[in-house]
Structure 1
Amino acid sequence: MPTIAPAVQQQLDERRGTDAQVLLWIIAKNRDTGAPETIGFWTGDDHQEFLIGGEIRTYFGAGNVIDVPPIIAKTGFQVRHYRVSLPPLTDEVKTLIRQFEPRQAKVEIHSCPLDIDSGNPLAEPVRMFKGLLNEAPEELGRKGGESRTELVLVTSARSLTLGLPLKRSSAELQRRNPADRGREIVDTAGEWRGRWG
Protein backbone atom coordinates (compact mmCIF):
# COMPACT_ATOMS: atom_id res chain seq x y z
CA MET A 1 0.00 0.00 0.00
CA PRO A 2 1.49 3.39 -0.95
CA THR A 3 2.45 5.85 1.75
CA ILE A 4 0.41 9.07 1.69
CA ALA A 5 2.47 12.26 1.93
CA PRO A 6 1.58 14.61 4.82
CA ALA A 7 0.52 17.43 2.46
CA VAL A 8 -1.83 15.08 0.62
CA GLN A 9 -3.24 13.76 3.89
CA GLN A 10 -3.83 17.31 5.11
CA GLN A 11 -5.80 18.15 1.95
CA LEU A 12 -7.83 14.96 2.35
CA ASP A 13 -8.56 15.85 6.01
CA GLU A 14 -9.88 19.28 4.97
CA ARG A 15 -12.59 17.54 2.91
CA ARG A 16 -12.72 20.37 0.36
CA GLY A 17 -12.07 18.03 -2.54
CA THR A 18 -9.14 16.44 -4.32
CA ASP A 19 -7.42 16.83 -7.65
CA ALA A 20 -5.23 14.10 -9.07
CA GLN A 21 -3.83 13.82 -12.58
CA VAL A 22 -2.73 10.70 -14.46
CA LEU A 23 0.81 10.50 -15.86
CA LEU A 24 1.65 7.98 -18.60
CA TRP A 25 5.38 7.26 -19.18
CA ILE A 26 6.60 5.07 -22.06
CA ILE A 27 10.12 3.78 -22.77
CA ALA A 28 10.35 2.44 -26.34
CA LYS A 29 13.07 1.72 -28.90
CA ASN A 30 13.77 4.20 -31.66
CA ARG A 31 13.02 2.46 -34.98
CA ASP A 32 16.11 3.97 -36.68
CA THR A 33 18.79 3.70 -33.99
CA GLY A 34 17.44 0.99 -31.67
CA ALA A 35 18.24 3.22 -28.69
CA PRO A 36 15.65 3.54 -25.90
CA GLU A 37 13.57 6.73 -26.09
CA THR A 38 11.10 8.12 -23.58
CA ILE A 39 7.85 10.01 -23.99
CA GLY A 40 5.22 11.02 -21.45
CA PHE A 41 1.59 12.15 -21.53
CA TRP A 42 -0.58 13.49 -18.75
CA THR A 43 -4.19 14.56 -18.30
CA GLY A 44 -3.29 18.23 -17.82
CA ASP A 45 -3.70 20.88 -20.50
CA ASP A 46 -0.10 21.96 -21.05
CA HIS A 47 3.35 20.39 -21.05
CA GLN A 48 4.85 20.08 -17.57
CA GLU A 49 7.85 18.61 -15.80
CA PHE A 50 7.51 16.27 -12.81
CA LEU A 51 10.15 14.92 -10.44
CA ILE A 52 9.84 11.13 -10.22
CA GLY A 53 12.46 8.96 -8.53
CA GLY A 54 15.06 11.75 -8.59
CA GLU A 55 14.58 12.24 -12.36
CA ILE A 56 12.87 15.20 -14.00
CA ARG A 57 10.46 13.95 -16.67
CA THR A 58 8.64 16.05 -19.26
CA TYR A 59 5.02 15.11 -19.91
CA PHE A 60 3.01 16.40 -22.85
CA GLY A 61 -0.41 17.72 -21.96
CA ALA A 62 -3.26 15.83 -23.59
CA GLY A 63 -6.10 17.04 -21.38
CA ASN A 64 -9.20 14.97 -20.77
CA VAL A 65 -8.76 13.09 -24.06
CA ILE A 66 -6.57 10.52 -22.26
CA ASP A 67 -8.93 7.82 -21.08
CA VAL A 68 -7.36 5.67 -18.35
CA PRO A 69 -9.47 3.00 -16.61
CA PRO A 70 -9.31 2.56 -12.84
CA ILE A 71 -6.14 0.70 -11.84
CA ILE A 72 -6.78 -2.39 -9.70
CA ALA A 73 -4.05 -2.95 -7.12
CA LYS A 74 -4.09 -6.54 -5.84
CA THR A 75 -1.57 -9.07 -4.70
CA GLY A 76 -1.07 -12.14 -6.82
CA PHE A 77 0.20 -13.23 -10.19
CA GLN A 78 -2.83 -12.47 -12.34
CA VAL A 79 -1.98 -10.77 -15.65
CA ARG A 80 -4.18 -7.69 -16.00
CA HIS A 81 -4.97 -5.86 -19.23
CA TYR A 82 -5.74 -2.14 -19.47
CA ARG A 83 -6.79 -0.05 -22.44
CA VAL A 84 -5.65 3.58 -22.53
CA SER A 85 -6.99 5.88 -25.26
CA LEU A 86 -4.92 8.71 -26.70
CA PRO A 87 -5.74 11.30 -29.38
CA PRO A 88 -4.19 9.96 -32.60
CA LEU A 89 -3.45 13.17 -34.47
CA THR A 90 -1.13 14.99 -32.06
CA ASP A 91 2.56 15.16 -32.98
CA GLU A 92 3.62 13.40 -29.80
CA VAL A 93 1.34 10.39 -30.39
CA LYS A 94 2.53 10.20 -34.02
CA THR A 95 6.11 10.12 -32.70
CA LEU A 96 5.24 7.26 -30.34
CA ILE A 97 3.60 5.17 -33.07
CA ARG A 98 5.78 5.95 -36.10
CA GLN A 99 9.27 6.82 -34.84
CA PHE A 100 9.34 4.46 -31.86
CA GLU A 101 8.68 0.71 -31.73
CA PRO A 102 5.69 0.65 -29.35
CA ARG A 103 5.38 -3.14 -29.06
CA GLN A 104 6.81 -4.44 -25.76
CA ALA A 105 7.67 -0.89 -24.64
CA LYS A 106 7.90 -0.39 -20.89
CA VAL A 107 5.01 1.61 -19.43
CA GLU A 108 4.43 3.29 -16.09
CA ILE A 109 1.28 5.05 -14.91
CA HIS A 110 1.55 7.48 -11.99
CA SER A 111 -1.06 9.39 -10.05
CA CYS A 112 -0.07 12.95 -9.15
CA PRO A 113 -2.05 14.69 -6.36
CA LEU A 114 -2.40 18.44 -6.95
CA ASP A 115 -3.23 21.31 -4.63
CA ILE A 116 -6.86 22.22 -5.31
CA ASP A 117 -6.10 25.96 -4.85
CA SER A 118 -2.83 26.44 -6.76
CA GLY A 119 -2.76 23.40 -9.05
CA ASN A 120 0.83 22.59 -8.02
CA PRO A 121 1.90 19.04 -7.16
CA LEU A 122 1.55 18.27 -3.45
CA ALA A 123 3.99 15.37 -3.48
CA GLU A 124 5.95 13.13 -5.80
CA PRO A 125 3.64 11.16 -8.11
CA VAL A 126 2.84 7.62 -6.96
CA ARG A 127 3.31 4.73 -9.38
CA MET A 128 0.05 2.81 -9.85
CA PHE A 129 0.99 0.57 -12.80
CA LYS A 130 4.13 -0.96 -14.26
CA GLY A 131 4.01 -3.18 -17.31
CA LEU A 132 4.38 -3.50 -21.06
CA LEU A 133 2.67 -2.10 -24.12
CA ASN A 134 1.17 -5.08 -25.93
CA GLU A 135 -0.60 -3.39 -28.87
CA ALA A 136 -1.25 0.13 -30.17
CA PRO A 137 -4.03 -0.03 -32.79
CA GLU A 138 -5.16 3.20 -34.42
CA GLU A 139 -8.84 3.72 -35.19
CA LEU A 140 -9.55 6.44 -37.71
CA GLY A 141 -13.15 7.53 -37.67
CA ARG A 142 -15.29 8.68 -40.59
CA LYS A 143 -15.45 12.32 -41.57
CA GLY A 144 -16.71 14.17 -38.53
CA GLY A 145 -16.31 11.04 -36.38
CA GLU A 146 -13.88 10.29 -33.58
CA SER A 147 -10.41 8.88 -34.06
CA ARG A 148 -8.22 7.41 -31.36
CA THR A 149 -5.10 5.42 -30.63
CA GLU A 150 -5.69 2.71 -28.07
CA LEU A 151 -2.78 1.38 -26.03
CA VAL A 152 -3.31 -2.16 -24.75
CA LEU A 153 -1.19 -2.57 -21.61
CA VAL A 154 -0.36 -5.73 -19.68
CA THR A 155 1.06 -5.94 -16.17
CA SER A 156 4.59 -7.12 -15.43
CA ALA A 157 3.17 -10.45 -14.24
CA ARG A 158 3.04 -11.46 -17.90
CA SER A 159 6.77 -12.23 -17.87
CA LEU A 160 5.99 -15.07 -15.46
CA THR A 161 3.88 -16.80 -18.12
CA LEU A 162 6.70 -17.20 -20.64
CA GLY A 163 8.12 -20.68 -21.09
CA LEU A 164 11.72 -21.48 -20.31
CA PRO A 165 13.91 -21.68 -23.43
CA LEU A 166 15.75 -24.65 -21.91
CA LYS A 167 12.68 -26.79 -22.54
CA ARG A 168 12.63 -26.03 -26.28
CA SER A 169 15.99 -27.50 -27.26
CA SER A 170 16.48 -31.18 -28.12
CA ALA A 171 20.10 -31.00 -26.89
CA GLU A 172 18.99 -29.61 -23.52
CA LEU A 173 16.30 -32.27 -23.11
CA GLN A 174 18.80 -35.05 -23.92
CA ARG A 175 21.33 -33.57 -21.50
CA ARG A 176 18.81 -34.03 -18.71
CA ASN A 177 17.59 -37.41 -19.97
CA PRO A 178 19.51 -39.18 -22.79
CA ALA A 179 16.41 -41.21 -23.73
CA ASP A 180 14.31 -38.07 -24.33
CA ARG A 181 13.80 -37.73 -28.10
CA GLY A 182 10.71 -35.53 -27.91
CA ARG A 183 12.14 -32.60 -29.88
CA GLU A 184 14.77 -34.43 -31.92
CA ILE A 185 13.21 -33.73 -35.32
CA VAL A 186 11.56 -30.40 -34.61
CA ASP A 187 13.95 -28.45 -36.90
CA THR A 188 13.20 -30.51 -40.02
CA ALA A 189 9.65 -31.78 -39.47
CA GLY A 190 8.13 -28.82 -41.31
CA GLU A 191 10.06 -29.71 -44.49
CA TRP A 192 8.85 -33.32 -44.75
CA ARG A 193 6.59 -34.22 -47.64
CA GLY A 194 3.92 -36.81 -47.16
CA ARG A 195 2.07 -38.81 -49.78
CA TRP A 196 -1.67 -38.41 -49.78
CA GLY A 197 -4.24 -40.76 -51.28
Structure 2
Amino acid sequence: MRPTSPALTAHRNQRSSVHAEHLVWIAARNREDNSIETVGLWTGSGQRSFTVDNVVRRFNGGCIADLSALHDEAGIRVRRKTLTLAGTAASTETALRIYDTYNAPVTIWRAEFNADKNLLAAPERVWRGVVEAAPFTTAAITDDGVALCTVDLTLISDAWRLTVMPPLTKAAATQGLRNGDQGRRYSNVHDATVQWGETQQAPKKRKKFLGIF
Protein backbone atom coordinates (compact mmCIF):
# COMPACT_ATOMS: atom_id res chain seq x y z
CA MET A 1 0.00 0.00 0.00
CA ARG A 2 1.38 3.39 -0.97
CA PRO A 3 2.14 5.61 2.05
CA THR A 4 0.36 8.97 2.27
CA SER A 5 1.63 12.13 3.94
CA PRO A 6 0.01 12.76 7.37
CA ALA A 7 -0.76 16.37 6.37
CA LEU A 8 -2.55 15.18 3.24
CA THR A 9 -4.47 12.52 5.16
CA ALA A 10 -5.62 15.06 7.77
CA HIS A 11 -6.82 17.46 5.08
CA ARG A 12 -8.78 14.69 3.34
CA ASN A 13 -10.41 13.64 6.60
CA GLN A 14 -11.68 17.21 7.08
CA ARG A 15 -13.46 16.89 3.73
CA SER A 16 -12.24 20.33 2.77
CA SER A 17 -11.98 21.51 -0.81
CA VAL A 18 -8.91 20.31 -2.66
CA HIS A 19 -7.45 21.04 -6.08
CA ALA A 20 -5.20 18.48 -7.79
CA GLU A 21 -2.67 18.88 -10.59
CA HIS A 22 -0.50 16.24 -12.26
CA LEU A 23 3.24 16.45 -12.87
CA VAL A 24 4.77 14.54 -15.80
CA TRP A 25 8.50 13.79 -16.15
CA ILE A 26 9.81 12.33 -19.42
CA ALA A 27 13.37 11.23 -20.26
CA ALA A 28 13.87 10.89 -24.03
CA ARG A 29 16.90 10.17 -26.21
CA ASN A 30 18.34 12.88 -28.44
CA ARG A 31 18.75 11.41 -31.93
CA GLU A 32 21.72 13.67 -32.74
CA ASP A 33 24.11 12.76 -29.92
CA ASN A 34 22.26 9.82 -28.22
CA SER A 35 22.16 11.71 -24.93
CA ILE A 36 19.23 11.38 -22.53
CA GLU A 37 17.38 14.66 -21.98
CA THR A 38 14.55 15.24 -19.54
CA VAL A 39 11.55 17.54 -19.54
CA GLY A 40 8.96 18.30 -16.88
CA LEU A 41 5.35 19.18 -17.70
CA TRP A 42 2.39 19.81 -15.45
CA THR A 43 -1.31 20.52 -15.89
CA GLY A 44 -1.03 23.87 -14.14
CA SER A 45 0.06 27.21 -15.60
CA GLY A 46 3.50 28.79 -15.72
CA GLN A 47 6.75 27.31 -14.50
CA ARG A 48 7.05 25.91 -11.01
CA SER A 49 9.53 23.78 -9.09
CA PHE A 50 8.39 20.81 -7.02
CA THR A 51 10.25 18.41 -4.77
CA VAL A 52 9.48 14.90 -6.03
CA ASP A 53 11.25 11.81 -4.71
CA ASN A 54 13.55 14.11 -2.68
CA VAL A 55 14.70 15.90 -5.86
CA VAL A 56 13.79 19.45 -6.88
CA ARG A 57 12.59 19.54 -10.48
CA ARG A 58 11.09 22.26 -12.66
CA PHE A 59 7.86 21.69 -14.57
CA ASN A 60 6.43 23.75 -17.42
CA GLY A 61 2.73 24.51 -17.53
CA GLY A 62 0.36 25.08 -20.42
CA CYS A 63 1.72 22.15 -22.46
CA ILE A 64 -0.73 19.39 -21.50
CA ALA A 65 -4.11 19.50 -23.21
CA ASP A 66 -5.52 16.27 -21.78
CA LEU A 67 -4.51 13.36 -19.56
CA SER A 68 -6.47 10.16 -19.10
CA ALA A 69 -7.89 9.58 -15.64
CA LEU A 70 -5.58 7.74 -13.26
CA HIS A 71 -7.23 5.15 -11.01
CA ASP A 72 -5.82 3.36 -8.00
CA GLU A 73 -6.49 -0.36 -8.02
CA ALA A 74 -5.19 -3.50 -6.38
CA GLY A 75 -3.24 -6.10 -8.30
CA ILE A 76 -0.87 -6.01 -11.25
CA ARG A 77 -2.31 -5.16 -14.64
CA VAL A 78 -0.86 -3.58 -17.77
CA ARG A 79 -2.55 -0.19 -18.09
CA ARG A 80 -2.43 2.35 -20.91
CA LYS A 81 -3.03 6.08 -20.66
CA THR A 82 -3.09 8.87 -23.23
CA LEU A 83 -1.23 12.14 -22.74
CA THR A 84 -2.19 14.82 -25.27
CA LEU A 85 0.12 17.79 -25.65
CA ALA A 86 -1.31 21.17 -26.51
CA GLY A 87 -1.26 22.41 -30.11
CA THR A 88 2.25 23.38 -31.15
CA ALA A 89 3.63 25.27 -34.12
CA ALA A 90 5.55 23.66 -36.98
CA SER A 91 8.89 24.80 -35.54
CA THR A 92 8.11 23.11 -32.23
CA GLU A 93 7.02 19.96 -34.07
CA THR A 94 10.38 19.86 -35.84
CA ALA A 95 12.19 20.19 -32.51
CA LEU A 96 10.14 17.40 -30.96
CA ARG A 97 11.00 15.01 -33.78
CA ILE A 98 14.67 15.25 -32.79
CA TYR A 99 13.91 13.14 -29.72
CA ASP A 100 13.24 9.42 -29.71
CA THR A 101 10.42 8.87 -27.23
CA TYR A 102 9.95 5.13 -27.80
CA ASN A 103 10.26 3.35 -24.44
CA ALA A 104 11.16 6.68 -22.84
CA PRO A 105 10.61 6.47 -19.05
CA VAL A 106 7.62 8.46 -17.77
CA THR A 107 6.71 9.26 -14.17
CA ILE A 108 3.56 11.06 -13.05
CA TRP A 109 2.92 12.60 -9.65
CA ARG A 110 -0.24 14.15 -8.18
CA ALA A 111 0.07 17.44 -6.33
CA GLU A 112 -2.85 18.55 -4.14
CA PHE A 113 -3.54 22.16 -3.12
CA ASN A 114 -5.99 23.70 -0.66
CA ALA A 115 -8.48 26.48 -1.39
CA ASP A 116 -5.68 29.08 -1.03
CA LYS A 117 -3.63 27.30 -3.71
CA ASN A 118 -1.01 26.20 -1.19
CA LEU A 119 0.65 22.84 -1.67
CA LEU A 120 -0.52 20.48 1.06
CA ALA A 121 2.33 17.97 0.90
CA ALA A 122 5.02 16.65 -1.39
CA PRO A 123 3.49 15.27 -4.62
CA GLU A 124 2.86 11.54 -4.49
CA ARG A 125 3.69 9.26 -7.40
CA VAL A 126 0.67 7.76 -9.16
CA TRP A 127 2.16 6.38 -12.38
CA ARG A 128 5.39 4.94 -13.70
CA GLY A 129 5.90 3.48 -17.14
CA VAL A 130 7.21 4.23 -20.63
CA VAL A 131 6.05 5.87 -23.86
CA GLU A 132 4.65 3.23 -26.21
CA ALA A 133 3.81 5.52 -29.14
CA ALA A 134 3.88 9.24 -29.93
CA PRO A 135 2.23 9.98 -33.29
CA PHE A 136 2.11 13.54 -34.65
CA THR A 137 -1.08 14.94 -36.20
CA THR A 138 -0.65 18.18 -38.14
CA ALA A 139 -3.79 20.25 -38.54
CA ALA A 140 -4.70 22.61 -41.36
CA ILE A 141 -3.24 26.11 -41.48
CA THR A 142 -5.14 28.55 -39.27
CA ASP A 143 -6.28 32.05 -40.20
CA ASP A 144 -3.03 33.38 -38.76
CA GLY A 145 -1.02 31.24 -41.17
CA VAL A 146 0.19 28.82 -38.47
CA ALA A 147 -0.11 25.05 -38.79
CA LEU A 148 -0.71 23.49 -35.39
CA CYS A 149 -0.04 19.86 -34.55
CA THR A 150 -1.13 17.62 -31.70
CA VAL A 151 0.92 14.88 -30.08
CA ASP A 152 -0.88 11.96 -28.42
CA LEU A 153 1.54 10.00 -26.26
CA THR A 154 0.39 6.48 -25.41
CA LEU A 155 1.78 5.52 -22.02
CA ILE A 156 2.05 1.94 -20.80
CA SER A 157 2.65 1.00 -17.18
CA ASP A 158 5.76 -0.79 -15.95
CA ALA A 159 3.73 -3.97 -15.52
CA TRP A 160 4.36 -4.71 -19.22
CA ARG A 161 7.89 -5.80 -18.30
CA LEU A 162 6.40 -8.86 -16.62
CA THR A 163 4.98 -9.97 -19.97
CA VAL A 164 8.41 -10.19 -21.64
CA MET A 165 9.67 -13.76 -21.79
CA PRO A 166 13.25 -14.26 -20.55
CA PRO A 167 15.86 -15.72 -22.91
CA LEU A 168 15.76 -19.49 -23.21
CA THR A 169 19.44 -20.02 -22.49
CA LYS A 170 20.11 -17.31 -19.92
CA ALA A 171 22.92 -18.62 -17.76
CA ALA A 172 23.68 -17.90 -14.12
CA ALA A 173 26.87 -16.06 -15.19
CA THR A 174 24.81 -13.62 -17.26
CA GLN A 175 22.30 -13.16 -14.47
CA GLY A 176 25.13 -12.51 -12.03
CA LEU A 177 26.16 -9.42 -13.97
CA ARG A 178 23.09 -7.69 -12.55
CA ASN A 179 24.57 -6.66 -9.20
CA GLY A 180 25.50 -10.25 -8.36
CA ASP A 181 21.97 -11.62 -8.83
CA GLN A 182 22.03 -15.38 -8.04
CA GLY A 183 18.47 -16.09 -9.16
CA ARG A 184 19.64 -18.65 -11.73
CA ARG A 185 22.49 -20.09 -9.72
CA TYR A 186 21.07 -23.61 -9.65
CA SER A 187 19.26 -23.52 -13.00
CA ASN A 188 20.12 -26.00 -15.73
CA VAL A 189 20.21 -24.73 -19.32
CA HIS A 190 22.78 -27.01 -20.94
CA ASP A 191 20.04 -29.21 -22.40
CA ALA A 192 18.26 -26.29 -24.10
CA THR A 193 18.26 -26.24 -27.90
CA VAL A 194 17.72 -23.09 -29.96
CA GLN A 195 16.96 -22.95 -33.67
CA TRP A 196 19.16 -20.21 -35.14
CA GLY A 197 18.05 -18.93 -38.56
CA GLU A 198 15.97 -21.99 -39.43
CA THR A 199 12.50 -23.34 -38.94
CA GLN A 200 12.07 -25.53 -35.91
CA GLN A 201 11.27 -29.10 -36.84
CA ALA A 202 8.03 -30.61 -35.70
CA PRO A 203 8.37 -33.37 -33.10
CA LYS A 204 8.38 -36.90 -34.48
CA LYS A 205 5.17 -38.85 -34.13
CA ARG A 206 5.31 -42.02 -32.11
CA LYS A 207 4.41 -45.17 -34.02
CA LYS A 208 1.48 -47.12 -32.81
CA PHE A 209 2.08 -50.77 -31.92
CA LEU A 210 -0.52 -52.97 -33.57
CA GLY A 211 0.79 -56.27 -32.36
CA ILE A 212 -1.34 -58.94 -30.74
CA PHE A 213 -0.63 -59.87 -27.17
TM-score, normalised via structure 1 length: 0.77
Instruction: Please name the residue that 2:119 is paired with.
Output: 121
Considering only CA atoms, is the larger Rg found in Structure 1 or Structure 2? Answer: 2
Instruction: For structure 2, list consecutive stretches of 5 or more residues without a partner in the other structure.
Output: 171-188, 200-213
Code of the aligned partner of 1:104 = N
Residues 96, 14 of structure 1: alpha-carbon distance in 2 compared, 3 angstrom cutoff: farther
Instruction: Please name the residue that 1:190 is paired with.
Output: none
Residue deviations 1:66-106, cap 9 Å, x none? Answer: 31111133333321111111114169x74873232111100
Alpha-carbon distance in structure 1 between the residues aligned to 2:12 and 2:71: 21
Residue deviations 1:101-130, cap 9 Å, x none? Answer: 11110001110011321x232111111000
* Aligned partners of 1:48 and 1:60 also within 8 Å: yes
* Aligned partners of 2:88 and 2:148 also within 8 Å: no
| Structure with more helix by fraction | 1
* Aligned partners of 1:52 and 1:125 also within 8 Å: yes
Alpha-carbon distance in structure 1 between the residues aligned to 2:94 and 2:23: 18
* Aligned partners of 1:88 and 1:94 also within 8 Å: no
Alpha-carbon distance in structure 1 between the residues aligned to 2:55 and 2:76: 29
Code of the aligned partner of 2:3 = T
* Aligned partners of 2:129 and 2:155 also within 8 Å: yes
* Aligned partners of 1:42 and 1:66 also within 8 Å: no
TM-score, normalised via structure 2 length: 0.71
| Identity percentage of aligned residues | 26
* Aligned partners of 1:84 and 1:152 also within 8 Å: yes
Aligned length: 178
Residues 11, 33 of structure 1: alpha-carbon distance in 2 compared, 3 angstrom cutoff: same
